[in-house]
Structure 1
Amino acid sequence: MNPRRQQRLAVVVGILALVGAAIGLMLYALNENIDLFYTPSEIIEGKDGQIPTVGQRLRIGGMVVPGTVKRDPESLAVSFDLVDVGEVVTVSYSGILPDLFREGQGIVATGVLTESRKIEAHEVLAKHDEEYMPPELAEKLKGIKHVKPSEAGY
């Protein structure tokens, strides 16, 4: 092989190595920032064979269990339980809750798993329509009787 072809081959291999390294670094950075959606049962039993680990960022959706909302009178801290089809997970949040947040309401919280059944949330979203529900959560809640907040007197 003549020297000119060797030089071109070295440049092409170098460019491919740099592009591969850049793609690998981007995928690694994105992997650290992914928020996966879980239901309370999936946090306990696992999703697709994988149980979330302590310290993992995630998004959880479920129904607020009536009677479990505990507010700290000295601060904005609040904790409550979420349920889907049986498993219960406790969510702690410090901040102002959405106006539509109430017991028996469906919510989505984004946060970090601190224990196997506890989540420290940094964002809580309440659904704005009693009829709408994320498809993943609707699939999990099939067959469970849900009392609308308007019917329950909340």
Structure 2
Amino acid sequence: MTARQRRMLLVALMVVGVGTAAAFALNAFQDNLLYFYSPSDVTAGKAPQDRNFRIGGMVTDGSFHRPTGSMEATFVLSDYAHEVKVRYSGVLPDLFREGQGVVARGKLGSDGSFIAEEVLAKHDENYMPPDVADSLKKQHQEAIRASQPAT
């Protein structure tokens, strides 16, 4: 084998190695992405069934239930157009309450409810996560358009 052939083989092996490393890195990055879906998206079937994602909305008044002495909590998230039941086991944030905006991370259960692994509540009265605010604004505008008589 000549020196030129050895260099070409070395370059080819380096290209294959870099390509393999890039493929592994992109695959790991794709597995760690958490997409945001509104309750309307989840109800429409746009959310993945087998992966974690984030859902955000307002906690519906009167929907929060936690049996005495249990860490299991259920509540309903709404974007004013559709609602999704959320189940969570653990300590909820101090600012969590009905009528408040929250974002939850988890996946869909077999019964269509959202099984949350983490629940985040907004940190003050004026803040709402941008994804949640955009989704609620969009749903509100669609509801206004739907309620107006056709001309």
Indicate the TM-score class for this superposition, using the shorter chain for normalisation: 0.7 to 0.9
CA distance, structure 2, for counterparts of residue 24 and residue 92 of structure 1: 36
User: 2: CA distance between counterparts of 1:66 and 1:88?
Assistant: 12
Q: If each structure's helix is expressed as a fraction of its own residues, which one has the higher value?
A: 2
* TM-align CA RMSD: 1.8
Given that 2:59 and 2:97 are in contact with CA atoms closer than 8 Å, whether structure 1 keeps it comes out as yes
Give per-residue Cα distances to partners, 1:82-138, cap 9 Å, x unaligned. Answer: 011311111110011111111110001111222473111111111012221222222
TM-score for the superposition, normalised by structure 1: 0.82
The Cα shift of 1:73 comes to: 2.0
Unaligned runs of 5+ in 1: 145-154
Sequence identity (%): 45
Going from structure 1 to structure 2, the CA distance change for 1:116 and 1:41 (only over 3 Å counts) comes to farther
Tell me the alpha carbon deviations over residues 42-93 of structure 1, each in whole angstroms, 9 at most, x when there is no partner.
Answer: 22235xxxx2222210111100011111112241100111011311111110
Q: TM-score, normalised by structure 2?
A: 0.84
Distance in 2 (CA, whole Å) between partners of 1:126 and 1:136 is 14
**Per the alignment, in what secondary structure is the counterpart of residue 6 of structure 1?**
helix
Q: Is the 8 A contact 1:85 1:140 kept in 2?
A: no
Higher strand content, 1 or 2: 1
Number of matched residues?
139
